[in-house]
Amino acid sequence: MPIARASSRLVHARRDAGARTRDASRRVRRTRRATPSRDEGSSIEELVDNPSRDASKDAVPSVNSAVGDVISSPLFYVTFGVAGGVGLVRALGENASFLLSAAPIVALTAISKTDFGAELMARIDRERPALDAEKARKEMERAEARGRSAFYGANRVKFLGDLEYEYPAHLDGTLCGDVGFDPLNLAAKSEDLERYRELELLHGRWAMLGVVGAAVPETLDRFGVANLGEPVWWKVGAAKMNSDIALDYLGFSGFHIAGGSGIAVIAACQLVLMGGPEYARYVGINSLEPVGVYLPGDKDYPGGAPFDPFKFSDDAEEFEKQKVMEIKHCRLAMIAALGCAIQAIVTRQGPIENLASVFGVN
């Protein structure tokens, strides 16, 4: 009987070993199929025995990551718009403006549909656990930095200073730039507060760009740096509609705003240029993963190489400080943009001309 029991155990052990071997083989085959970047002759065992082989394969995704960071960066849009745009318009004619405005967005979409784009996405999937862990670590550091900062929390400086006032309960100092200002309780609901903050940042960032866009061309033209045709921001549309004036972009001859096609093409270009980034923002921070770009932040502060190329956000305290500085500049820019519009209506001049007349500068 002991011999029979021993034989039975041996048979079962062999069956179990065979089942485990078959399961392992199936797992290896599935792993091979799910890992298209490996050579067909490679196997899990070879990768374990020869780790240098695997490291050499990972060199390709690192290059892909760098390319993905470049093509998704705002700097790419600026470079393409100024340098590549001059060449394209000269080669294809002024009516190429609409095609030019859509090119960066179309290019990113096309890349995401290729095998190269698939490899970029696969790299993100392979690195996601480590990337998510790093994101969680930075979020913890930033939460600690907010706890130490004078710009956050219940003891932060509020808009009435030391005066007695019953500040809204929903403004508890969690958000950057929160000074307790909501006298009408418009953001009492948490979902409203989140949406209003998103809109405030959105309009503030566009206002900062808009004020610079209104001031810089007039400054360049006033001091003879560049002849832009019509430098005053609110006169540009009328100049395009009522004359054949050439509006050169930053003085580049041949790269005219919307060419000779009029105001309709200007509006179409704006729709594409603004619609693409706004759609990406609406979709979320995962919208660039198909081209290999992992954004570690959120929709308001996406971070990552495209939005923080100099890695200013690596220091948690500096990051939280910069958030407060940005929202303050956003609010000032929105007031400045409103001021530019009112001055244009009242004085019929540009902001630089108004500023010069105040200080008596000729």
User: Which residues define the annotated binding site for chlorophyll b?
Assistant: 205, 270, 278
C-alpha triplet 296, 298, 303: angle, nearest 5° = 45
Give backbone dihedrals phi and psi of 162, rounded to 5 degrees, phi first: -90, 5
Give backbone dihedrals phi and psi of 102, rounded to 5 degrees, phi first: -85, -15
Question: Under the phi-then-psi rule, with left for phi > 0, alpha for psi from -120 to 50, and beta for the rest, what region is 293?
Answer: beta
Q: Which residues are annotated as a binding site for chlorophyll a?
A: 200, 203, 250, 326, 331, 343
Q: Which residues contact 165 (CB under 8 A, 6 or more apart)?
A: 158, 180
3-state SS assignment for residue 252: strand
Q: How many residues in total does the chain contain?
A: 362
Question: 154: which 2 tokens?
Answer: 């219940």
Q: Which has the closest alpha carbon to 74: 216, 254, 281, 268? A: 281
Q: Which residues are annotated as a binding site?
A: 200, 203, 205, 250, 270, 278, 326, 331, 343
Amino acid at 289: E
Q: What is the largest CA-CA distance in the chain?
A: 115
